[in-house]
Amino acid sequence: MGCCSGRCSLIGLCALQLISALERQIFDFLGFQWAPILGNFLHIIVVILGLFGTIQYRPRYIVVYTVWTALWVTWNVFIICFYLEVGGLSKDTDLMTFNISVHRSWWREHGPGCVRRVLPPSAHGMMDDYTYISVTGCIVDFQYLEVIHSAIQILLSLVGFVYACYVISIFMEEEDTCRNK
């Protein structure tokens, strides 16, 4: 296979997906977003499996990757609907933290240009307790940053799906020609 083959393209695309997923995983950890952390973890594992299958000529592993990309697109569409509050979903619920904590997206307070105003602890509160009363000056609201992250994941997954199907068909053709000889 040549350097610009579908196989090499899928390897490069899987590498991009890994970088993007790791970046997203870091920010989800910072915001204690447990549902996305779990999803990102599974995504990283399956992308590595797809990468291994592509490098080692294992079409079954690429099939697993292909099925996962369809599920991953579905998950990211849900994330977009969640943050844009489509269909009765609310970004202010604890759904992403499995109702374990009241943490929200890390981008809510740390987005580009955001300025936090902190209310000092009350007299009956603990000394280390701070309540954020407002976040102002954000260049891009946090929900749009989350939507952008999900849109990038969807784009990479859709292109990955197409390349994976192409690589599977090439591997199967090569396998068939080897059997016929």
* pLDDT one-digit tens code per residue, 111-169: 888 888 877 666 555 555 556 557 788 898 889 999 999 999 999 999 999 999 999 99
- Give the pLDDT confidence of 22-73 residue by residue, as tens digits: 999 998 888 888 888 999 999 999 999 999 999 998 999 999 999 999 999 9
* Domain ranges, residue 146: 1-86+141-180
In a domain, 9, yes or no: yes
Asked if residue 165 lies in contact with residue 98, where contact means CB atoms within 8 angstroms, the answer is no
Predicted confidence band of residue 101 (pLDDT cuts 50, 70, 90): low
Write the DSSP assignment of 133-170 as a string of letters. Answer: EEEE--SS-HHHHHHHHHHHHHHHHHHHHHHHHHHHHH
> What is the tally of structural domains in the chain?
1
What are the backbone angles phi and psi of residue 122, rounded to the nearest 5°? -75, 170
In a domain, 172, yes or no: yes
In a domain, 99, yes or no: no
Helix (H), strand (E) at residue 180: helix 142-180
In a domain, 60, yes or no: yes
In a domain, 120, yes or no: no
Between the two ends of the chain, the Cα-to-Cα distance in Å is 20
In a domain, 114, yes or no: no
In a domain, 105, yes or no: no
The reply to whether the predicted model has a pTM over 0.75 is yes
